[in-house]
Each structure stands twice: as C-alpha cells, then as structure tokens.
Structure 1
Amino acid sequence: MRILVTGSNGFVGGRVAAKARDRGWQVVGLGRQPRPVVEVDGYHRHDLADPLRLDETVDAVAHCAALASPWARPEAYRRANLDGTRHVLEWARSHGVPPVHYVSSSSVFYTRQDQLGLTEDSPIPAPADQINVYSRSKLAGERLLEAYVGDWSILRPRAVFGPGDTVLLPRVVTAARAGRLPLLVRSNPDPVLTDLTHVDVVAHYVVEAVARGVTGPVNLTNGEPVELYPFLFGLLDDLGLPRPTRRVPVGVAMALARASEIASATVLGYREPPITTFGVSMFAHSKTFDVARCRTLLGPPLLSVEDGRRALVAWWRGRRRPAQ
C-alpha cells in the first residue's frame, strides 16, 4: 500500500502517517513545513491553498490537512479547508482516481443546543446556519467529496485530544491560568455531556478506513461520553491548575463572546479573542454521538478516554519539565 497523507506534520496527520508506516505501508507526506517532522518515505513541501503538482502514484489518499483553529480570518479557512480539499481532489482525479478519505469534523452537526446520540443520518445545518466559519468550511469540503468520481469516505472526529494537541488543551490551560475559564450556568439542570476522541484512536480509525475500503460518512469518537465539568476538573487538578469558580450565565458569556469576536474582526486584525461563541457553546451544550456505524466498520477504539487522559497529562508534565 502506498498512501498520500496531507498534513503529515500535523496533530492528526502525523499520527496517521506513523500508523500507516507501522503497517508497512509506504507513506508520501505533504505539508507546509520545509522538512518532515514525522518520518515518511517521501515528503513534499506544499501549501494546498495552491493547486497540487505532485508526480506520485498512490493507492489511497488520507486528507488530514486543515486549519482547525476556532478563530481565524474567513479567507484563511476558505483557502485551507475548501480550496485545499478542491486541489487534493483535482490532483486525485488526474492521478488514477484513488480512494480519498477526508478527515472532516463533527462540528458540521452542531447547533447551540444539546444534541445527544447524533448519527451519520442526523440533520446537518445548512451552510448559512453552521455554528462557525470553521464548520462551514469543513462542510463545504464534504460537499466536494460527495461529488468525487472515485471512492471516498468522510471521517468526522469529535473533540480530538492527546499528546501534541495544539487546539484544545493549550486554550484551556491558558484560560485556566489567567482565571478566564468560567463555570457556565445554564437553565437546563442536566449535566453537560460530551464525547471525546483520543488522537491515536482517530489515526487508527483513519488507517482502518483506508485498509478496509470504507466509503461514506463515519462519525468517530471513543464512544464514552463524559460529564464535561467533572472531566475538566480532574484534568486541571492533574495539571496543577485552578478550577474555574466564576459562575457566569450562558447568555452573558455568549454576549461577551459575540462582542469579543466583533472587536477582533473589526479593529484587532482577527487576533483570537479570549472567548468565542463556539467555545461557549461547547461548554454549555451536550454533544454525544451514536458510534454504531464506526464500531461496525472500524472496530473498537485502541484505548479508553481515561487511558488517553493519563497519557495527555504525562506528556504535558514532561514537556514542561526543564531539561537536565
């Protein structure tokens, strides 16, 4: 098996490349950095915002490259997530039409309310109703996949965490240290439930999808919903960080987030605000998934959420330790 992994230096793409090589596959890596961070059999530096000119023949493509930040200029999302996907598919069409496995996002389903037991057939909000620009760009990428002439799959991980995380944990840690992490108070007395997915579970599932020739959409999670705040408190305790104590009604937090986003977009050059409407919604509303299709097609997860949490804590502590 010879596979092209886009974003092979990234959080998810790097794990996919490593697991593919563990199987003895030849991995062609693609990334924007001058050289590979993860060992591959061949590496090409390229920004997928531009058309891909690559003289390679592969048996499959794992398209992991993306701009996953919760806040950026709309143009940046369009170039990375929409144009990037279009250019991968154009290249694939002219290079043997290999199966393309697209790492999308579960956020394409999100609304600002509790959503429990989402399946692949659950309603997806229209582009104009997407929860943020990021999710809208990932949905646009999915629509391109659906028109691809070869085989394709759309793999939608939920809340990816683990060693090497550059999106979730750093923002939580920064907010906790600054005392900006609120304890949101919502009108619904039920606890906020959330599904999580360890990065090694995501990578394993992507490689399995390639190996098994999976087609169509598949939601990826560990399949172990947790209560958000108890999980968060335990993680903060293990990292030696303060728990949030400032109780803020969801409506107030959302209004502050909207004001912060307006200021960022109009006078601060899209500098990431300290609070976003997406972040408030993720802490205020339950998001869980029915993983029956995932388990049937791809099997059980490699490790549990608790095992993944311990590995994350060990990694974070290790990276903070001064060199001897």
Structure 2
Amino acid sequence: MSQRRVLITGATGGLGIALVAEALARGHDIVATGRREEAGARIKALGARFVAADLVKPEADLPGLLSGCDSVIHAAALSASWGPEQDFVETNLELTRRLLAAAGSVGVSRFVFVSSPSIFAGFEDWVGIGEDDTPAARPLNAYARTKLAAERLVLAPRDDNLACCAIRPRALVGPGDRVILPRLAELARRPRMPLPRGGQAFIELTDLRDAARAICEAEERAPSLAGRAINISGGQPRAVRDIAVALAGALGTHPRLVSLPLGLARPLASVLEALAHLVASREEPVLTRYTLATLAYSQSFDLEPARRLLGYEPQHDALGTLLKEARSMSAAEVGA
C-alpha cells in the first residue's frame, strides 16, 4: 500500500472523523477540513492536518487546499431533510462541481464522493437494490435531488486522469451522528410514537466505521472503479418497530407505539409540506413525504457488488452501536 496525501472534506462530522481515523490507519497523509473547530482539535490529535474552512463560501481557495494532494474523499454535505432549496444546491451540488474542477486543475488522480441512498426513497418497498437499479424518478426532497445531481456530475465521463467513483452508505450510526439518533430519540421521548404501517418496514443501519472502511477502500481502488456507484449498508435489515422498542429501552423511555395508517399519513404529509412551503417555514413539518417513505417502506441493498469490488463485509452490529450511543446520550443528560 503506497502512501498518498488525501483531502477529506466534511471531516468534523461523525463520518468525517471515522474517515480520518481509517485513512490514517492505512498510512496516508491526511488533510482534513470542516467547520467545527472543536472537532478539529480531535482530528489533530489523531495525527491529521486540520484546516478550518467553509468550502461553500466563494472565497474558499479550493485549488490551494488541494495542492499536493493525490486524492479527495468528499464527505461534506448539507445532510438534512428540510430547508431552503438554494442551501442544498450550494452545498451539495455547486461545491461538488467546484471541487471536481479544482481537483482536475491541480492534477489530483482520485475522487471519491460520499453519495446517499436517499436517491432511491419512494412509496414502495425496495429490497435488494442492486448496482443496475436506477434512482427514483422524482427524488422526494431537496437533499435527495441535489445529492443525485452531484453524483451524476462525479460519475460523468471525463477527459482527464481524475478517476471518480461514489459510495452510498445507508443510515449511518455511531459517535458524532447528528442525524439518525437525534431524530429517533426525539420520537422515542414522546408519550406516543407513531409508526407508519405499524413499523413493519425494514431498515439497514450502517456503523460509521464500516462505511469509512468501504469509502477508504474505494479510494485505494479508485482507478478501477471510475464511473461506478457502490451501495453500502450494515447488511442486517431490522424492523422499524424493533428498532423503536430497543431504542426506547436504551433511553429509558416508555412511549406508546401507535400505528399510523398510510391512508392518513400520505395526504397528511403532503398537506403539511405544502403549508410549510407556502409560509417559507424553516421548521421541518412533523411529517414529510421523505420521512414517511423512509419509515414506512423497506429499503435494503444487495451487497454483492460491494463484496466483489471492495472486498467489503460489515464488521460491526450497527443496531448495537446505535443503542450504545443512546445509552451514552441518556447518561450524559442525567449527569448534566
């Protein structure tokens, strides 16, 4: 394994820190960038060089940041299910476009884009999504739309030596997760927890460490993966209801689980979204079409391509990781 200088964007998030640790363990020289300087101190302690920066700002010197780098792992994103469309366009799409251009201009040879399985979300069960399956024709929110558009930019044929590929990790959990656990914990702390279709849909959680290993392996093999997108998950589908019950137990809460019929949920989500858009609300409605799709319908990946192309096999029990983090969160709140 040869040492390379790798730029990791979005390094101060949960996945970003896991990526820094994994890439350092592989012997690479890491330049990590992100906006959270307190997380930057931890990154420096791991042995990486940290550059505090908001790459979305026009004045960000992307060619300068990339100077001397061999590879880019682009994990920076606006990972939210609600917000102004332009914010998602600028962060998820235009930043990717500018970073690709800068990488090509300074001679970077490898570019791994952290994409999202949200591009498949829809109102139907979809089990065993494979490498030839196409994303939903109409993505359900601005996050999915912009991640899909950015992925297509990354995977488009190029006339230079920049080998680009994408990894789509499913439902990431672990230290630093600011998406899955906080949202589920909020539901688990309510007196009643509504479960679309009774919580019978299956979700595949993914441990951040497994995702980081797959992404860094894609960086290793990027020259042979150019133009490909690979789906990654923990490989253990779990019913939403079972996850909800286990999480409530870890948090010490006792919500009443209430089945939410789809005949009520779908029109309600549409009306709530329409009202929120009408008043330009930055507050996410209590139910959106995207949230409904992810909780009411099963989605799982065929991991055969990941095994074949990356040698990937999940090493961690993602549900166990989620529950460990939930117990730590609960203990921290009690001690505060």
Q: Is the TM value for this pair above 0.5? A: yes
User: C-alpha offsets along residues 233-253 of structure 1, whole Å, 9 cap, x if unaligned?
Assistant: 112112112234233212312
Mean CA deviation greater in 41-50 or 286-295: 41-50
After superposition, the C-alpha distances for 1:268-287 in whole angstroms (9 at most, x for unaligned) are 53212222221111111010
Find out whether 1:48 has 2:60 as its counterpart.
no
User: Hey, what's the Cα distance between the residues in 2 that align with 1:320 and 1:100?
Assistant: 40
The answer as to whether partners of 1:9 and 1:37 remain within 8 angstroms in 2 is no
| Cα offset, 1:180, TM superposition | 5.5
CA contact (8 A) 2:121 2:290 kept: no
Kept in 2, the 8 Å contact 1:183–1:244? The answer is no
Aligned with 2:176 (options 161, 164, 172): 164
CA apart distance, 1:93: 0.8
Q: Which amino acid aligns with 2:326?
A: V
Which deviations, in whole Å up to 9, do the C-alpha atoms of 1:28-59 show, x marking residues without a partner? 11222356244243222332323542422112
2:132 to 121, 126, 130: 121
1:23 counterpart residue number: 26
Partners in 2 of 1:233 and 1:244 — Cα distance? 10
Alignment partner for residue 16 of structure 2, among 8, 13, 17?
13
Please say if residues 192 and 255 of structure 2, whose CA atoms lie closer than 8 Å, have aligned partners that are also in contact. no
Matched residue of 1:245: which SS?
strand
Which of 100, 119, 134 is the aligned partner of 2:111? Answer: 100
Gaps of 5+ in 2: none
> For 2:203, which of 164, 179, 194 is the aligned residue?
194
Q: TM-score, normalised by structure 1?
A: 0.91
User: SS at 2:316's partner residue?
Assistant: coil
- On the 8 A contact 2:15/2:212 being kept in 1, the answer is yes
Alignment map for 1:124-135 (pairs within 5 Å) = 124-126=135-137, 129-135=138-144
Q: How many residues are matched?
A: 318
Aligned letter for 1:3? Answer: V
Letter in 1 for 2:29: Q
Is the CA contact (8 Å cut-off) linking 1:8 and 1:38 kept in structure 2? no
Match of 2:267 among 255, 274, 282: 255
Relative distance call for 1:105 and 1:161 in structure 2 (3 A) is same
Q: Which amino acid aligns with 2:113?
A: Y
Q: CA deviation at 1:223?
A: 1.2
Q: Secondary structure at the match of 1:18?
A: helix
Instruction: Write the letter of the residue equivalent to 1:101.
Output: V
Contact 2:251 2:327 in 1 (8 A): no
Given that 1:163 and 1:316 are in contact with CA atoms closer than 8 Å, whether structure 2 keeps it comes out as no
- 1:39 maps to 43
Matched, 1:66 2:77: yes
Quote how far apart the aligned CAs of 1:316 are.
Answer: 2.3
Structure 1: 4+ residue segments shifted above 6 A: none
Are 1:212 and 2:224 counterparts? no
Pairwise CA distance, 1:319? 3.0
Which region of structure 1 is more displaced relative to structure 2, 3-12 or 44-53?
44-53
Change beyond 3 A, Cα 1:90–1:38 = farther
3-state SS of 2:313 partner: coil
Q: Does 1:175 align with 2:187?
A: yes
Query: Helix, strand or coil for the counterpart of 1:82?
Result: helix
Cα displacement (A) at 1:5 = 0.2
Q: Percent identity?
A: 31
Looking at structure 2, the residues matched to 208 and 12 of structure 1 have their Cα atoms a distance apart, in angstroms, of: 15
- 1:146 is aligned, of 129, 144, 155, to 155
Does the 8 A contact of 1:260 with 1:273 survive in 2? Answer: yes
**Amino acid of the residue matched to residue 131 of structure 1?**
L
Q: CA deviation at 1:113?
A: 0.6
- Say which structure is richer in helix: 2
Distance in 1 between the 2:189 and 2:201 partners? 23
Q: Which amino acid aligns with 1:225?
A: P
Q: CA RMSD in A?
A: 2.1
Which residue of structure 2 lines up, in the alignment, with residue 185 of structure 1?
A: 197
In the alignment, the residues of structure 2 paired with residue 239 and residue 75 of structure 1 have an alpha-carbon distance, to the nearest angstrom, of: 36
Q: What is the CA distance between 1:290 and its match in structure 2?
A: 0.3
What secondary structure does 1:123 align onto? Answer: coil
Q: Which of the numbers 122, 125, 133 marks the counterpart of 1:111?
A: 122
Higher deviation after alignment, 42-51 or 281-290: 42-51
